[in-house]
Amino acid sequence: QLNRLLAVGEAVWFGEFNSAKLHVYSPNWNYYNATAVQNPTPGDPGAILVEATRTWVGSGAGLAKFENNAWSYRPIPNNTTAVTSIVRGVDNLLYLATQGRGLYSYDGNVTFDQQTTGNGLPSDDLRDLLVDQDGKLWVATSAGLALRGTNYWLSFTAENSGLASNDLTSLTLDGSGRIWIATAQNGISIFDPNAGGAEAWSAQSVADGLPALQAQALTTEPSGAVWAGTAAGLARWNPEDARGTP
């Protein structure tokens, strides 16, 4: 069973479920266990971010880095939960979402900074991160969507916006700059930052071609088409005809 999967160029990274093991195919197989990634307290591989010269992997409750054909590991202060998403911000910091300890920024060297509900996040259970076309950081949580402002968080919930549900699972950006938001039980909500009022929100459901309302993962291909993984299969949204195809 796999916990994580990420393809970049010719390389495909696999993180095993319930096992502190990583596999990389590029185009031959390489195998890394917890000892190889220098993690003294083994845990499941979590989020993966592949950059030009290095790869970052959430390893248990910490962060592993593969660079110059060698692994290094850093524990994340005050964190005891899995790393669910990793992105690079426009400020060149790494942002790490965790399953119960909120958001961390990391300078890549020594300093971690933690953001929690005490700082304005709707929940400390974070599911996914997204940097949009304007460099803004969005956070999907178990209690709504958050947008990072200057020293504040702006929260979107089913009660104050067009969000279909507060229990979110995944984020992606389509070719038009709209933010797709997968929900655990209510399909997909779509937010257009360039629109106003009710026109800013739309939705995708079974009636639009989703195999199921339980949307679990989203990604966007270079053409702008959006893929959605659901409890009943995979669907592709084609921007040319604006309809999903199971």
Q: What is the pLDDT of residues 182-237, one digit of tens each?
A: 999 999 999 999 888 778 999 999 999 999 999 999 999 888 899 999 999 999 98
Q: Is 72 helix (H, G, I), strand (E, B) or coil?
A: strand
pLDDT in tens, 46-57: 899 989 899 999
Task: State the Cα torsion 109-14-132-147 to the nearest 10°.
Answer: -70
* Long-range contacts of residues 225-234, Cβ cutoff 8 Å, at least 24 apart: 225/175, 226/172, 226/174, 226/180, 228/180, 228/182, 228/188, 228/204
| Total-model pTM | 0.87
Q: Which residue has the tokens 């803004």?
A: 136
Supply the DSSP symbol for 117.
Answer: G
| Max CA distance (Å), the chain | 52
pLDDT at 4 over 70: no
Torsion-angle region of 185 (φ positive above 0: left; ψ -120 to 50: alpha; else: beta): alpha
